[in-house]
A = this chain, B = another copy of it.
Amino acid sequence: MSERTLEELARHVGGELRGDPGLTIRSAATLEEAVEGQISFLANPRYFRLMETTRASAVVVGEAQPLSVSQIVAPDPYYAFAQMVVLLHGHRQHLGTGISPRASVDPTATIGAETHIHDFATVSAGSRVGARCVLYPNVYVGPGVEVGDDCVLYAGVVIYDGCRLGNRVIVQANATVGEDGFGFATHRGVHHKIPHIGRVIIEDDVEIGAGSGIERGTLQDTVIGRGSKVGDLVAIGHGVRLGPGCLVVAQAGIAGSTTLGHHVVLAGQVGVAGHLKIGDMVAVGAKSGVNRSIPAGQRVFGYPAFEQRQSTAAYAAFKSLPQFRRRLIELEERVEQMEARLSAGAAETGGA
């Protein structure tokens, strides 16, 4: 942690300063929790009222607000704030251990310069780990795996044989990459295991969340595209392919052979069926179940998922379903009475 003046922070993000340039900022906090010496941000107008009462010394905003608190105005305030958090707090510092004698590194493995391998981590035969990586305790890197430069594998991460990780890949604790997929040929009631000869390819700048599982492909590789971020406890099936820049939030799942374009967003607990094509920039609302391919750019929601505005309207109407039923029954009765009356009237007047 290192303190900065407001002026330094504004300059760092190319923002416009409204307030005392010499103000010392020591750390970052939310509007609600900030105290003197802290900087906060307002990215969502919904939280404007918090800005009126915040004790933060300064706030990063998209547009200057008519308030006395010091402000740094930046067109993308959350991004500017994030850059300041990095400046003030830095990313996690990993302890330098070198290659621990209590790690298990196969003599045929190649380890890059300045890579740290903690106690009880394993790097198997024929695998390569790049430079400046950190392998925490109890990491397992299987045979023939390739890991690029500047990767961090947290404690308990397992990478199966033959998988490939690019540069700057982060895998949070207890995640698994490259396990066998759920692939069986069922014959006369017996489920026969199919060898999974595909690998998992994780491209540069990907992050995988804690406890997630990325299956290797049956025949073709599973691919996580460049810069995609996968949350905690996500299940990605065999042969799935994510384009670059996707966001897959916690507990979402993607079944086998489905492909996602670039910058697709799957919110938390979403499920996507197998063998589908999800177009570029598609956004799927939380807990939706996607059972058909989705064209690029569409926002969908629901179980099963369909176009978001339509589904929002349908779910709103759903609450009134018991009332609809009552009104339907009432209408049927009224219509029946009228029909009876009309028939009686017709009989009376001798009409048809």
Contact surface of A with B, Cβ cutoff 8 Å? 27-30, 33, 76, 78-79, 81-83, 85-86, 89-92, 95, 102, 104, 118-120, 122, 124-125, 136-138, 140, 142-143, 154-156, 158, 160-161, 170, 172-176, 179-180, 182, 184-187, 189-195, 197, 207, 209-213, 215, 219-220, 227, 229, 231-233, 235, 237, 245, 247, 249-251, 253, 255, 263, 268-269, 271, 273, 286-287, 289, 291, 303-304, 306, 310-311, 313-322, 324-325, 327-328, 331-332, 334-335, 338-339, 341-342, 344-346, 348-349, 351-352
Is the Cβ of A156 less than 8 Å from the Cβ of B138?
Answer: yes
Q: Of the candidates B122, B172, B212, which one forms a contact with A137 in the assembled complex, judged by CB atoms under 8 Å apart?
A: B122
Is the Cβ of A195 less than 8 Å from the Cβ of B86?
Answer: yes
Q: Of the candidates B82, B320, B351, which one forms a contact with A192 in the assembled complex, judged by CB atoms under 8 Å apart?
A: B82
Is the Cβ of B303 less than 8 Å from the Cβ of A194?
Answer: no
Closest 6 CB pairs of A and B: A82-B185, A140-B155, A158-B173, A210-B213, A179-B210, A213-B232
Is the Cβ of B286 less than 8 Å from the Cβ of A286?
Answer: no
A2 and B187 CA atoms in complex are apart in Å by 25
Is the Cβ of A213 less than 8 Å from the Cβ of B219?
Answer: no
A140 and B137 in contact, given A185-B79, A211-B174 (Cβ under 8 angstroms): yes
**B residues less than 8 Å from A176 (CB atoms):** 156, 172-174, 210-211, 232
In addition to A83-B192, A233-B233, A286-B289, 6 A-B residue pairs with Cβ atoms within 8 Å of each other are A82-B192, A89-B197, A102-B104, A140-B155, A268-B273, A316-B322
**B residues less than 8 Å from A175 (CB atoms):** 174
Is the Cβ of B104 less than 8 Å from the Cβ of A124?
Answer: no
A310 closest partner in B (C-beta): B319
Offer 29 A-B interface pairs, CB within 8 angstroms, sorted by A.
A28-B197, A28-B219, A83-B185, A85-B197, A91-B193, A119-B120, A120-B122, A138-B140, A170-B180, A172-B213, A176-B232, A179-B210, A182-B209, A182-B231, A182-B232, A210-B213, A213-B250, A233-B235, A269-B289, A273-B286, A286-B289, A303-B303, A310-B322, A314-B319, A317-B322, A318-B318, A318-B321, A321-B321, A341-B352
A125 and B119 CA atoms in complex are apart in Å by 13
**B residues less than 8 Å from A255 (CB atoms):** 249-250, 268, 286
**B residues less than 8 Å from A180 (CB atoms):** 92, 170, 172
A327 and B333 CA atoms in complex are apart in Å by 12
The count of identical subunits is 3
Is the Cβ of B220 less than 8 Å from the Cβ of A184?
Answer: no
A268 and B12 CA atoms in complex are apart in Å by 46
Is the Cβ of A209 less than 8 Å from the Cβ of B220?
Answer: no
A209 and B213 in contact, given A184-B229, A328-B328, A338-B339 (Cβ under 8 angstroms): yes
**B residues less than 8 Å from A179 (CB atoms):** 154, 172-173, 209-210, 232
Is the Cβ of A90 less than 8 Å from the Cβ of B235?
Answer: no
Q: Of the candidates B83, B136, B219, B235, which one forms a contact with A232 in the assembled complex, judged by CB atoms under 8 Å apart?
A: B235
A279 and B238 CA atoms in complex are apart in Å by 29
Q: Of the candidates B172, B328, B349, which one forms a contact with A331 in the assembled complex, judged by CB atoms under 8 Å apart?
A: B328
Is the Cβ of A187 less than 8 Å from the Cβ of B156?
Answer: no
A197 and B86 CA atoms in complex are apart in Å by 10
Q: Of the candidates B251, B342, B346, which one forms a contact with A271 in the assembled complex, judged by CB atoms under 8 Å apart?
A: B251
Is the Cβ of A118 less than 8 Å from the Cβ of B125?
Answer: no
A179 and B175 CA atoms in complex are apart in Å by 11
